[in-house]
Amino acid sequence: SQKIEQNSEALNIQEGKTATLTCNYTNYSPAYLQWYRQDPGRGPVFLLLIRENEKEKRKERLKVTFDTTLKQSLFHITASQPADSATYLCALDVGNGQNFVFGPGTRLSVLP
């Protein structure tokens, strides 16, 4: 069956460290993958998109990798700050460009 998982429901790290979040999927062949940030009571905010033929994408302190062989994407936040505390969602494109499947999310807490 098709499944998309994110490594853990919650992740606590110390300020200044690198947070690494994992998104694994089975029985999908996404053309691209997106990462979103969601704060409580608000809609998700788009962070990064990576295509299937791209290995890595960076934006400021954020880095995303995409391994279609392992069916996995890693999302890194370097020099993490308490303001980075939020739920992070990965989303796969499963066809037609706008039909997305979202992972359950990982709630990241960056402790001062």
Partner 1 sequence: KAGVTQTPRYLIKTRGQQVTLSCSPISGHRSVSWYQQTPGQGLQFLFEYFSETQRNKGNFPGRFSGRQFSNSRSEMNVSTLELGDSALYLCASSLVAGDLSEQFFGPGTRLTVL
The site for partner 1 (CB under 8 A) is made up of 32, 34, 36, 41-46, 49, 51, 89, 91, 93, 95-105
Minimum CB separation of residue 70 from partner 1 in Å reads 22
Cβ nearer to partner 1, comparing 50 with 80 = 50
Phi, psi for 82 (deg, rounded to 5): -55, -30
Cβ nearer to partner 1, comparing 10 with 45 = 45
Cα–Cα distances in angstroms (integers) from residue 59 to residues 1, 30, 77, 84, in the given order: 33, 21, 10, 14
Question: How crowded is residue 33: how many other Cβ atoms within 10 Å of its Cβ?
Answer: 28
Cβ nearer to partner 1, comparing 42 with 112 = 42
